[in-house]
């Protein structure tokens, strides 16, 4: 008559073969154990529960289920002693009986550990634990090779015990292959996690990659199909220890099971990206691990730096979540969670580890188009703090709108100002030209008929006409510069000629003020790549300022020398200098320093330095200043030199 297990699995030849070797009583024991393990609602419906029930099959003080990870290590998948399981990695060389099973693929039996030559190297440790007999049985669960390891402090195991454990191992394979409910739960939970992480790695109990989804090429440098079957630990390395990720499962806390996440650890991927890696067991009879890999944004705050459940949402998709959010994911389905997070509600109720919790939803729009940060805060200080932040955000948003409106008004006023300057300068230029011409006629062609007093009056008029004309030209240049319409003609410029003309023009003013105007030009001075008339205008402004603010007895020196692929021109004076808090202000339009210069009249429009800096910017150069109050100032302009070997004139 067929044994019960043979009737339950009629197409299994192994069950029929084992039934011939075992009696009715043995099969009754195996049937009771099998039914307890296979029942979904039973406390034994897990690998740990199955191993704890082994005491009714054969005498055993400890039953462990291990699987090889790589060439030299084993992982304890389950054990009758729950303290010795989960993240435990053991060295293969410390367990010669397991090494023997892996090499031969056959069961190992030591009826007396003292007489086994295989166990001689580890006999002291076995005797220290009181172990008198040992067996190791190979099996395969969900395509993962594993080994049952049973230890007994008495009585000793025999061949019939080996047959019983082999039968139990075989029945356990049947149980593992018939778990559609747990497999369905695992699939749904994995689908939810996949929508929250940059990459999700499903790992078999022996550490091999079963499947991998997400940005695999970016993170690991290989396609998902190339990574399947490789060791998951080889995909990472630890930046903290500068070591490989070989001990990935030691870096993470022990598995908690049921879709609850272990501690998040920062690891680098083989592709060089810094990531936060969380690990959990997938719900199911045979434990599989799930690695959620989330890229750390090295430019700013990572979601895992936040102490609350946090989600990054793009449109209608959850694209990332932190480890706190993962702990909530066993409650809603993917669609339910997405609906809650992307809706307009302010609260939601989710099931966490300690039961249902009411959360307040806080949303913040991110810089990336269509993206938002969603935080969940339960009752307590975090919720109160986020409510205050929400209120501050509302106030800040109103302030920002007001500032934007004020900025828009300023832009309009600035546009009106530039337009007014340009149109005013244009309107004044023609009458000033006519006035200048008539004064020149009076002071030259008709000078003989004028009295000394009349000639003096005309000279005063002429000087002020020239001054007003310079102001109009400055306004015209400033308006053109601000409107981006300044006219420059780039060509090959001989700097020495410009310096000579400026010195010749400004020498009378220097002598009149009791100053020395000198030059120090380096030999073989490179030509400039610039607009000659604009460079002369800037140099004229700088020398004019230097003379204006240098007392009698002082000096103004123009130096020039090549400097790499540029030419540096400096105007150095021994004047009263510039106060530190005025250095940046002197380049602002219409700014004139009226203090700290006793005995020196403040002349000019306050536009010369502004125009000079902006002209040099348009020519690809720059203007800087250094100054010591009471000792003088140095204005330094740097311009590109004409490329060496280029014989073109322009």
DSSP alpha helix (H) spans, 177-234: 180-194, 216-220, 224-227
The residues near 475 (Cβ < 8 Å, ≥ 6 apart) are 421, 422, 424, 425, 605, 607
Lowest mean pLDDT among 155-169, 174-188, 236-250, 268-282: 236-250
Residue 99 and residue 527: Cα distance in Å, rounded?
A: 81
Q: What is the pLDDT of residue 289?
A: 76
Do the beta carbons of residue 572 and residue 547 sit within 8 Å?
no
Q: What does the alpha-carbon distance between residue 589 and residue 163 come to, in Å, rounded to a whole number? A: 99
In CATH terms, the fold of domain 491-640 is Heat Shock Protein 90 (3.30.565)
Of 20, 27, 26, nearest to 5 by C-alpha is 27
Do 591 and 608 touch, CB atoms closer than 8 A? no
Q: Considering only 73-82, 214-223, 484-493, 525-534, which range has the smallest mean pLDDT?
A: 73-82
Strands of 2-72 (E only): list them.
62-69
Query: Once rounded to an integer, what is the mean pLDDT over residues 492-499?
Result: 91
pLDDT of 228 over the 60 cut = yes
Q: Give the integer Cα–Cα distance in Å for 399 and 545.
A: 43
pLDDT tens digits for range 608-644: 788 888 888 888 899 999 998 888 999 999 999 988 7
Query: Quick one: pLDDT band at residue 207, thresholds 50, 70, 90?
Result: confident
Q: Which residues of 349-358 are buried (b: 16+ CB within 10 A; e: fewer)?
A: ebebeeeebe
* 318-346 mean pLDDT: 61
CATH 3.40.50.10800 fits 4-176, yes or no: no
Whether the per-residue pLDDT at 356 is higher than 60: the answer is yes
Pick from 551, 561, 547: nearest CA to 517: 547
What pLDDT band is residue 650 in, cutting at 50, 70 and 90?
A: low
Burial class, 231, CB count within 10 angstroms (exposed 0-12 / middle 13-18 / buried 19+): middle
Q: Look at residue 520 in the predicted model and tell me its pLDDT.
A: 92
Task: Determine contact, residues 371/380, Cβ cutoff 8 Å.
Answer: no
CA nearest 244: which of 225, 231, 253? 231
What pLDDT is recorded for position 110? 92
Better-scored residue on pLDDT, 137 or 319: 137
Q: In the predicted model, is pLDDT for residue 466 greater than 80?
A: no
Distance, in Å, from the CA atom of 569 to the CA atom of 585, rounded to the nearest integer, reads: 22
The phi, psi pair for 563, rounded to 5°, reads: -145, 90
> Which helix (H) or strand (E) covers residue 175, if one does?
helix 159-176
Mean pLDDT score, 118-127: 90
Cα dihedral 478, 482, 487, 490 sign = positive
| DSSP assignments along 221-239, one per residue | SS-HHHHTTSBGGGGEEET
* pLDDT score of 561: 92
Q: What is each CA distance from 433 to 53, 91, 469, in whole angstroms?
A: 112, 98, 8
Give the residue, 296 or 543, on which the prediction is more confident: 543
The phi and psi torsions of 538 (rounded to 5 degrees) equal -65, -45
Average pLDDT over residues 177-194: 58
pLDDT at res. 344: 59
| 44: Cα separation from own chain's centroid | 46
Taken in order 240, 245, 246, 251, is the CA torsion positive or negative? Answer: positive
| Rounded to 5°, angle at Cα 150 from 149 and 151 | 125
Q: Does domain 180-379 have CATH number 3.30.450.20?
A: yes
Taking the CA atoms of 190, 196, 197 and 198 in sequence, report the sign of the dihedral they define: positive
Identify the burial level of 311 via C-beta atoms within 10 angstroms of its C-beta, where 0-12 means exposed, 13-18 middle and 19 or more buried: buried
pLDDT at position 74 is: 80
pLDDT bin (cut points 50, 70, 90) of residue 571 is very high
Lowest mean pLDDT among 193-207, 312-326, 569-583, 620-634: 312-326
Sign of the dihedral defined by the CA atoms of residues 35, 41, 44, 48, in that order: positive
- Above 60 in pLDDT, residue 29? yes
How many Å apart are CA 502 and CA 126, to the nearest integer?
A: 101
The whole-number pLDDT of residue 190 equals: 65
4-176 and 180-379 share one CATH topology? yes
HSE toward the beta carbon, residue 272, CA cutoff 13 A = 1
Residue with tokens 């009696």: 23
Q: Would you place residue 136 in the very low, low, confident or very high pLDDT band (cuts 50, 70, 90)?
A: very high
- In the structure, what pLDDT confidence band is assigned to residue 219 with cuts at 50, 70 and 90? confident
What per-residue confidence (pLDDT) applies to 7? 61
C-alpha angle 73/173/34, rounded to 5°?
A: 120
Q: What is the mean pLDDT of residues 56-74?
A: 80
Residue 518 phi, psi dihedral angles, 5° rounding: -125, 165
CB 283 within 8 A of CB 258: yes
Highest mean pLDDT among 63-67, 90-94, 136-140: 136-140
Tell me which range, 4-18, 64-78, 178-192, 584-598, is most confidently predicted by mean pLDDT: 64-78
Q: Are the beta carbons of 612 and 542 closer than 8 angstroms?
A: yes
* Parallel, antiparallel or unpaired: strands 516-521 and 555-563: parallel
Rg for the chain (alpha carbons), in Å? Answer: 44
- Which of 73, 71, 54, 72 lies closest to 62, judged by CA? 54
Q: What is the mean pLDDT of the chain?
A: 76
Q: What percent of the chain has pLDDT over 90?
A: 13
Task: Select, from the ranges 25-29, 51-55, 163-167, the one with the highest average predicted confidence (pLDDT).
Answer: 163-167
Query: Is-contact 252 262, C-beta < 8 A?
Result: yes
Nearest to 151 by CA among 167, 163, 134, 130: 134
pLDDT at 335: 58
Per-residue pLDDT tens digits for 363-417 = 777 767 777 777 777 766 766 666 676 676 677 778 888 888 888 888 777 776 6
- pLDDT given for residue 329 in this prediction: 46
pLDDT for position 259? 42
**Other Cβ atoms within 10 Å of 255 Cβ, number:** 18
pLDDT at 223 over 70: yes
Per DSSP, the residues of 633-648 read EEEEEEEEBPPTT---
What residue spans define the domains of the chain?
4-176, 180-379, 390-482, 491-640
Say yes or no to pLDDT of 40 above 50: yes
Asked whether the beta carbons of 21 and 9 are under 8 A apart, the reply is no
If pLDDT is split at 50, 70 and 90, which confidence band does 558 have? very high
Partners of 145 in beta bridges: 140
Residue 454's pLDDT is what? Answer: 80
pLDDT at 596 over 50: no
Query: Quick one: pLDDT at residue 134?
Result: 92
pLDDT of residue 569: 93
Alpha-carbon distance of 365 to 359, in angstroms, equals 19
Q: Is 207 left (phi over 0), alpha (psi -120 to 50) or beta?
A: left
Name the β-bridge partners of 632.
Answer: 628
Torsion of Cα atoms, 193 then 194 then 197 then 200, to 10°: 100
Q: What is the pLDDT of residues 243-272, one digit of tens each?
A: 445 555 554 444 434 444 455 667 777 777
DSSP string across 406-438: HHHHHHHHHHHHHHHHHHHHHHHHHHHHHHHHH
What gap in Å lies between CA 340 and CA 395, rounded to an integer? 27
- Enclosing H/E stretch for 116: none
At the second CATH level, the architecture of 390-482 is Orthogonal Bundle (1.10)
User: pTM for this structure?
Assistant: 0.46
371 cis-preceded (ω within 30 degrees of 0):
no
């Amino acid at each position: 008559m067929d044994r019960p297990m043979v009737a339950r699995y009629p197409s299994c030849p192994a069950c029929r073969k084992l039934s011939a070797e075992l009696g009715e009583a043995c099969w009754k024991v195996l049937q009771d154990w099998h039914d307890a393990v296979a029942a979904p609602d039973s406390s034994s419906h897990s690998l740990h529960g199955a191993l704890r029930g082994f005491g009714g099959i054969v005498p055993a003080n400890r039953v462990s289920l291990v699987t090889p990870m790589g060439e030299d290590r084993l992982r304890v998948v389950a054990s009758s002693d729950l303290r010795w399981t989960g993240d435990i990695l053991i060295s293969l060389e410390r367990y010669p009986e397991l090494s023997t099973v892996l090499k031969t693929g056959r069961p190992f039996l030591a009826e007396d550990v003292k007489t086994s030559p295989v166990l001689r190297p580890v006999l002291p440790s076995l005797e220290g634990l009181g172990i008198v007999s040992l067996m190791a049985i190979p099996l395969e669960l969900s395509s993962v090779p594993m080994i049952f390891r049973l230890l007994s402090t008495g009585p000793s195991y025999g061949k019939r015990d080996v047959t019983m454990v082999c039968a139990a191992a075989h029945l356990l394979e049947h149980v593992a292959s018939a778990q559609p409910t747990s497999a369905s739960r695992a699939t749904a939970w994995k689908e939810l996690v996949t929508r929250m992480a940059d990459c999700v790695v499903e790992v078999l109990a022996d550490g091999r990659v079963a499947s991998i989804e997400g940005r695999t090429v970016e993170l690991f440098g290989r396609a998902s199909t190339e990574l399947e079957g490789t060791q998951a630990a080889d995909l990472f390395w630890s930046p903290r220890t500068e070591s490989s990720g070989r001990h990935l499962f030691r870096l993470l806390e022990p598995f908690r099971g049921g879709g609850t996440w272990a501690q998040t650890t920062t690891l680098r991927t083989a592709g060089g990206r810094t990531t936060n890696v969380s690990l959990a067991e997938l719900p199911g009879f045979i434990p599989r691990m799930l690695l959620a890999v989330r890229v750390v944004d090295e430019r700013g705050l990572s979601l895992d730096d936040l102490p609350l459940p946090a989600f990054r949402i793009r449109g209608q998709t959850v694209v990332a979540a932190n480890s706190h959010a993962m702990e909530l994911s066993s409650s809603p389905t993917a669609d339910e969670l997405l609906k809650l997070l992307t809706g307009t509600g302010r609260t939601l109720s989710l099931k966490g580890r300690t039961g249902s919790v009411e959360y307040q939803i806080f949303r913040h729009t991110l810089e990336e188009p269509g993206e938002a940060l969603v935080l969940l805060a339960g009752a307590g200080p975090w919720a109160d703090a986020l409510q205050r932040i929400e209120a501050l955000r509302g106030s800040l948003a109103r302030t920002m709108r007001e500032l934007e409106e004020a900025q828009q008004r300023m832009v309009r006023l600035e546009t009106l100002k530039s337009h007014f300057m340009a149109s005013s300068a244009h309107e004044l230029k023609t009458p000033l030209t006519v006035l200048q011409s008539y004064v020149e006629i009076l002071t030259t062609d008709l000078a003989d008929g004028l009295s000394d007093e009349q000639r003096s009056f005309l000279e005063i008029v002429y000087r002020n006409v020239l001054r007003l004309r310079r102001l109009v030209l400055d306004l015209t240049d400033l308006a053109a510069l601000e409107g981006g319409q300044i006219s420059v003609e780039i060509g090959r410029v001989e700097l020495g000629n410009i310096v000579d003309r400026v010195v010749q023009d400004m020498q009378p003013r220097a002598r009149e003020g009791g100053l020395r105007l000198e030059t120090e030009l380096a030999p073989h001075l490179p030509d400039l790549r610039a607009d000659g008339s604009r460079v002369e205008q800037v140099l004229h402004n700088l020398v004019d300022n230097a003379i204006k603010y240098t007392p009698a007895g002082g000096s103004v020196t123009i130096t020039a020398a090549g400097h790499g692929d540029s030419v540096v021109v400096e105007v150095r004076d021994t004047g009263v200098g510039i106060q530190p808090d005025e250095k940046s202000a002197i380049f602002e339009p219409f700014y004139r320093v009226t203090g700290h210069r006793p005995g020196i009249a403040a002349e000019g429009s306050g536009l010369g330095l502004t125009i000079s800096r902006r002209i040099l910017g348009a020519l690809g150069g720059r203007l800087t200043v250094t100054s010591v109050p009471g000792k003088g100032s140095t204005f330094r302009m740097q311009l590109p030199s004409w490329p060496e070997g280029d014989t073109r004139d322009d």
